[in-house]
Amino acid sequence: DAGVTQSPTHLIKTRGQQVTLRCSPKSGHDTVSWYQQALGQGPQFIFQYYEEEERQRGNFPDRFSGHQFPNYSSELNVNALLLGDSALYLCASSLEQGRKNIQYFGAGTRLSVL
């Protein structure tokens, strides 16, 4: 049973560029959440997708957007990259039905903005 998979594992971009990160949820999961973890900090919630719609959003600017596909996989897009966007981006999946209340995390994508 595959867990949460994220791609790519590492990425280097320059300021002003755009980036797309991808996430495949754990088998059977239908909800995907994205988090940003800056160096030395705890993860911060970006947004959550369920039924292909953004259900909740944290305190992140509109430069951060996402998408969920019919197969429940998800993308995180960041436009006009800033140096401060350098971080580990974590995807977490969970199952809405039955309120399992457990988010399973992928290994993350480490984004470096130069």
Partner 1 sequence: AQSVTQLGSHVSVSEGALVLLRCNYSSSVPPYLFWYVQYPNQGLQLLLKYTSAATLVKGINGFEAEFKKSETSFHLTKPSAHMSDAAEYFCAVSLSGGSQGNLIFGKGTKLSVKP
Q: For the residues of 30-46, what is the DSSP string, one character each?
A: -EEEEEEE-TTS--EEE
For residue 31, the one-letter residue type is: T
| By the rule CB under 8 A, 15 interacts with partner 1 | no
Distance CA 54, CA 2 (A): 24
Q: In the complex, what is the shortest distance from the CB of residue 95 to partner 1, in angstroms, rounded to a whole number?
A: 6
Q: Which of 19, 4, 6, 109 is nearest to 64 (CA)?
A: 19
| By the rule CB under 8 A, 40 interacts with partner 1 | yes
| By the rule CB under 8 A, 83 interacts with partner 1 | no
Nearer Cβ to partner 1 (10/15) = 10
Q: Do the Cβ atoms of 7 and 26 come closer than 8 Å?
A: no
| By the rule CB under 8 A, 17 interacts with partner 1 | no
| By the rule CB under 8 A, 14 interacts with partner 1 | no
| By the rule CB under 8 A, 58 interacts with partner 1 | yes
85 SS3 class: helix
Q: In the complex, what is the shortest distance from the CB of residue 103 to partner 1, in angstroms, rounded to a whole number?
A: 5
Q: Contact residues for partner 1 (CB under 8 A)?
A: 4, 31, 33, 35, 40-45, 48, 56, 58, 90, 92, 94-96, 99-108
